[in-house]
Amino acid sequence: MPVQLPSGSASIAAFIAAFRFRIRFGTRFGIPETSTEEHSMTHGTTAPTTTAYKVTGMTCGHCEGAVTSELSALAGVASVTAEAATGLVTVVSAGPLDDEAVRAAVDEAGYELVGRA
């Protein structure tokens, strides 16, 4: 099946993060072989939740990677996009995440979660 890449650097980063997650974990975590829409229609599940957070202290790509790595380890997280320039971190997950778990993951990476953006 051919894969169409989205345009824009943030979209591409999100696509790559989701692709890496799928390769790494496959269907172990309930990622369907069908598209999200097809899976939702046939299995009665809800659409993924996208949440934006404001994080302070990120200054470079390494910072983005550290935050992405820690947040990606949280249960239910499908993809993470961190942007050091803006301090915005976008998380796509199977459902709403516990804000304290997100705060702890960001803290573990060495940064401060200001709150939801």
- Supply the mean pLDDT for the chain: 81
Cα–Cα distance measured from residue 92 to residue 90, given in angstroms and rounded to the nearest whole number: 7
Residue among 49, 106, 45 at smallest CA distance from 72:
106
Which residues, at least 6 apart from 64, have a Cβ–Cβ distance to it below 8 Å?
A: 58, 82, 83, 84
pTM, full prediction: 0.63
pLDDT 10s digits, 55-90: 999 999 999 999 999 999 999 999 999 999 999 999
CB 41 within 8 A of CB 34: no
Assess whether pLDDT exceeds 80 at residue 54: yes
